[in-house]
Structure 1
């Protein structure tokens, strides 16, 4: 009986150890953050910790992640892909300049609130926010208003309280710099049409430049060959003609 019971006890102990290890990996907290349970939700508080990048060892059961007031400059691909329960993400008041196109892959279905306000973002790839249903704050960033930004905003659910704080810091048409993006778009401006016109003008200028170069080469070629032809003609004219050779031959024959 004891011999039979021992393997069972060993198996139970092994299973319990695996469960404990898994639990530890799920609830482990980064040393730079403070983790707590609030109303049954795992809240990870990493605010004002002088972080320069997003921690890689975040608990998998994180529901609220607070990363505001750090020095994060970049949101890389798959930054939150293990956080399948993430509902609220605060990245405000950082130094974020770039957002990779796959930055929010893995949390598009769960995320409800995303705060990217007060950063240094000028543009984002339109794929970055694909399929996100979260309410998003993009206020107080130095946005460059052009076609891509217009396409991005068309798909987003912007926070209505901060939507007028999404300002064109620069624009493909300088007259719209300093104005709220939504106000500009609501006036009927289409940055994508302007982009196409700009492209067409650039193509026309390029083609005109090539055409001018071809014409200049043809003129140079013709003139160069005309000069060679003129020299050749002068050379031929300098040669004695057949009639002159015949007269000279007759004169020699008479003398003889």
Structure 2
């Protein structure tokens, strides 16, 4: 009867001795956390470049292709677009930039819709390959504030530039005559902000601003006025310091003058006596 508890204690001690070895084997069989994170479908979906296969495609009567990628929350132009694409709709996405050459293979593209995205600036050359085919460009409802003529070099398109926070200043006014855009593209472009808002440029159409306003002259005039005011203030400060310096040293100068008079009065060779 006393042997059973002894056997039980022996078995328990052997299990305890084998526990570290069992734990080590279990750790070897379990997958590493890095492998689990790497194989996560969410991570792979985020790192994947958007493909044109997710877009709706339809053939046109002239043998072209209409591709609609609207509302897919794309962050960049999808890859794999057909060379026969003539109409491309990328509106209502999250595209914030257009790299140079992103449309280089779409030599037949006639219409491009990039409205309702997050474009805040355009790189020069992003539309360079579309100069011979593109006729309509929609950039409305983005975050564009300035127009760079280098972006539209060679393009002769009708562009929709409305509903952007355009900043009307001297550089904008100088760049407008260099654009090859249709004038109707600028008729509804409204200045959201300006360097000189008190002049009434905010809320005006860009075409009216070009015809009736000269923001560059206004800027130069304002700069000249500021320069004159600065020079006047500098002169007043210099004059004030000069007057302050004289008043502060007037007492010292008076004491020196009195001392010189005192020395002159005590000079025995300075006393004149009649012969």
| TM-score of the pair, normalised by structure 1 | 0.65
Q: CA deviation at 1:137?
A: 1.6
Change in CA separation of 1:57 and 1:231 when aligned onto 2, cut-off 3 Å = farther
Q: CA deviation at 1:63?
A: 3.4
Q: CA deviation at 1:219?
A: 3.7
* Matched ranges for 1:22-61 at <5 A: 30=52, 32-34=54-56, 37-38=59-60, 39-55=62-78, 58-59=81-82
Distance 1:208 1:163 in 2: 38
Distance 1:179 1:210 in 2: 35
Corresponding residue of 1:231 = 252
Q: Structure 1: where are the runs of 5+ without partners?
A: 1-28, 248-256
Do structure 1's residue 96 and structure 2's residue 125 form an aligned pair?
A: no
Corresponding residue of 2:266 = 244
Q: CA deviation at 1:43?
A: 3.9
Q: Note the aligned Cα RMSD (angstroms).
A: 3.6
Change in CA separation of 1:96 and 1:117 when aligned onto 2, cut-off 3 Å = same
Q: CA deviation at 1:114?
A: 0.9
Q: Structure 2: where are the runs of 5+ without partners?
A: 1-50, 270-275
Corresponding residue of 2:86 = 63
Partner secondary structure for residue 128 of structure 2: coil
Partner secondary structure for residue 143 of structure 2: coil
Q: CA deviation at 1:149?
A: 4.4
Partner secondary structure for residue 216 of structure 2: helix
* Matched ranges for 1:1-256 at <5 A: 30=52, 32-34=54-56, 37-38=59-60, 39-55=62-78, 58-59=81-82, 62-150=85-173, 154=177, 155-158=179-182, 160=184, 164-171=187-194, 172=196, 175=200, 177-182=202-207, 184-185=208-209, 188-190=211-213, 193-221=214-242, 223-225=244-246, 227-228=248-249, 230-238=251-259, 240-246=262-268
Deviation track 1:80-108 (CA, whole Å, cap 9, x = no partner) reads 34433332211122233322343322322
Distance 1:170 1:64 in 2: 33
Q: CA deviation at 1:124?
A: 1.9
Q: CA deviation at 1:50?
A: 0.4
Structure with larger Rg: 2
Deviation track 1:212-249 (CA, whole Å, cap 9, x = no partner) reads 214412441454156436514413523641441539xx
State whether residues 166 and 192 of structure 2, in contact with CA within 8 Å, keep that contact through their aligned partners in structure 1: yes
Q: CA deviation at 1:125?
A: 1.9
Change in CA separation of 1:207 and 1:105 when aligned onto 2, cut-off 3 Å = farther
Change in CA separation of 1:31 and 1:218 when aligned onto 2, cut-off 3 Å = farther
Deviation track 1:31-82 (CA, whole Å, cap 9, x = no partner) reads 5445565443244332111012333564555433221111223334444344
Distance 1:32 1:225 in 2: 84
Distance 1:150 1:245 in 2: 81
